[in-house]
Amino acid sequence: MSGMASDPNNSSQEEYIPHNLQKEDPFASKLSREADIIAGFYLTIIGILSTLGNGYVIFMSSKRKKKLRPAEIMTVNLAVCDLGISVVGKPFSIISFFSHRWMFGWIGCRWYGWAGFFFGCGSLITMTAVSLDRYLKICHLSYGTWLKRHHAFICLAIIWAYATFWATVPFAGVGNYAPEPFGTSCTLDWWLAQASVAGQVFVLSILFFCLLFPTAVIVFSYVKIILKVKSSTKEVAHYDTRIQNSHILEMKLTKVAMLICAGFLIAWIPYAVVSVWSAFGRPDSVPIQFSVIPTLLAKSAAMYNPIIYQVIDCKFACCRPGGLKANSSLKKSRTYTISAHRDSTAMNETQLE
């Protein structure tokens, strides 16, 4: 009898059909029209601010492109990724939210999913590279002596190749892009994990190589930086006031650098948690109204960095001799380098985009 009682449960699990393969229209909005309008206005504001902010960063950097340092090049690449998300992706979702349904069919859905994942992955891997760069420069002083511009361009090539590979893998037959449960946006087909072992392998690979591993590298790098800064505080205390002030400024700039990565992760981790739950949890256990909130939060990540750059601009100007008089020269670049020359125990320069 117990075996017969378990058969219905097993069969219901095997017969589970993802929302995008059910008979109902997968592109029809499952939200109220009022909720779609609010989401549309929210994304419009986010898109405008992100486009203007990141466009400004790229424009100002292009005026001195031949003088950009390696860390500045990474900053520009991060702005390019954020601008790509805003320009290529957001118009699709904004139009769809206001239209109360996805308007661009399966081809547009797969393009939107690819572009969002491509630029999102590029942003995270760029921040991973930046965190490693800072870790090596602060904790391994000899590293900064050989880093040149061409090394940064090689790193950019690796970043774009990495993002292209993982964003294109779903088109090779091992994954897919599909509409979100609420219907007006598209993403990776997390629900493949409910259908087969191959789908589970695909989802786990994406999670490890495009979220967990980069995040672990970022956390490791900044933890080591914090420990290094704390250990050097006693050494710096023996030097004059100018060096002590430089050390304090370096520590503040490092904290702001961590804020840039933290903003990205805070925006994306709730979405990743909901996606993992959708992939491996009980089928359709995530309420549709709840699933839209992490999605909208993740779409706001591209807006944070230009705002943080402006905060750095103001704080940095106030810390320099002459106060705000130095602000006009700082606006020429969104990357600031502070050099504090010490003796053999000195820290090397810390670069912050």
Tens of pLDDT, residue by residue, the chain (353 residues): 334 444 434 434 455 667 767 777 889 999 999 999 999 999 999 999 999 999 988 998 888 878 887 777 888 898 999 999 999 889 999 999 999 999 999 999 999 999 999 999 999 999 999 888 888 877 876 766 667 788 889 999 999 999 999 999 999 888 899 999 899 999 999 988 888 888 899 999 999 999 999 999 999 988 888 888 777 665 555 555 655 565 565 566 566 667 778 888 888 889 989 988 888 887 677 788 888 999 999 888 888 877 776 665 555 444 444 443 434 443 443 333 333 333 333 333 333 33
- Distance CA(126)–CA(305), nearest Å, equals 13
- Rounded Cα distance between 287 and 96, Å, is 20
Is the distance from CB of 70 to CB of 149 less than 8 angstroms?
yes
Per-residue pLDDT at 217: 93
Pairing status of strand 336-338 against strand 350-352: antiparallel
Predicted model pTM: 0.79
Question: Which alpha helices (H) appear in the chain, and where do they start and end?
Answer: 2-14, 33-62, 70-84, 90-99, 105-139, 143-146, 149-168, 197-207, 213-236, 241-280, 288-299, 301-319, 327-330
Residues 6 or more apart whose Cβ sits within 8 Å of residue 113: 170, 177, 178, 186, 187, 188
| CA angle, 54 then 58 then 62, to 5° | 170
CB-CB contact of 174 with 202 (8 Å): yes
At residue 188, the pLDDT reads 93
What local confidence, expressed as pLDDT, does residue 8 receive?
A: 39
Q: Where do we find the tokens 């075996």?
A: 3
Count of beta carbons in the 10 Å neighbourhood of residue 165? 11
Q: Is there a contact between 236 and 244 (Cβ–Cβ < 8 Å)?
A: yes
pLDDT number for residue 278: 84
pLDDT of residue 34: 95
101 strand-pairing partners? 28
Helix (H, G, I), strand (E, B) or coil at 122: helix
> Which pLDDT does position 353 carry in this prediction?
36
Do residues 105 and 183 lie in contact, with contact meaning Cβ atoms separated by under 8 Å? no
CB 88 within 8 A of CB 186: no
Q: Which domains does the chain have, with CATH numbers?
A: 33-316 (1.20.1070.10)
Instruction: Name 127's Cβ contacts closer than 8 Å, sequence gap at least 6.
Output: 78, 214, 218, 260, 261, 264
